């Protein structure tokens, strides 16, 4: 018996290991994600209280707005001034989030002001 029959499975194993390693390395850790959100919070001009879940929800609205319009400026306009802008409200309306509007505005106010 030769070892030739093992070469193909070993190649597949190495390839799978490389793919898995790449996936693990590209996923931010929980700590890094929190720091990223904290940095985003300040970069957006938010002056209020930091609440990661609020920031994540508002960012998601802007991401969905970008996906809806496929306009590179949509995401940035939506996030401008810590989400406290007319574009954010229009995005929420376009995404049919009228039932959530009061909650979204409350989150914006919490992040925006002290």
Output the pLDDT for position 113.
Answer: 87
Output the pLDDT for position 33.
Answer: 42
65, 94 contact by CB (below 8 A): yes
Which stretches of the chain score pLDDT less than 50? 20-34
Domain borders along the chain are 30-112
Tokens of 26: 């590209």
Does 1.10.2010.10 match the CATH number of domain 30-112? yes
Output the pLDDT for position 76.
Answer: 93
Q: Model's pTM, two decimal places?
A: 0.67
């Amino acid at each position: 018996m030769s070892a030739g029959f093992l070469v193909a499975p070993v190649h597949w194993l190495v390839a799978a290991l490389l793919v898995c390693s790449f996936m693990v390395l590209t996923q931010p850790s929980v700590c890094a994600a929190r720091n990223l959100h904290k940095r985003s919070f300040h970069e957006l001009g938010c002056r209020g209280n930091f609440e990661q879940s609020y920031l994540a929800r508002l960012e998601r609205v802007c991401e969905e707005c970008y996906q809806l319009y496929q306009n590179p400026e949509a995401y940035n306009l939506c996030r401008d001034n810590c989400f406290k802008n007319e574009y954010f409200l229009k995005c929420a309306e376009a995404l049919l989030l009228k039932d959530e509007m009061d909650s979204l505005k409350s989150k914006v106010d919490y992040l925006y002001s002290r």
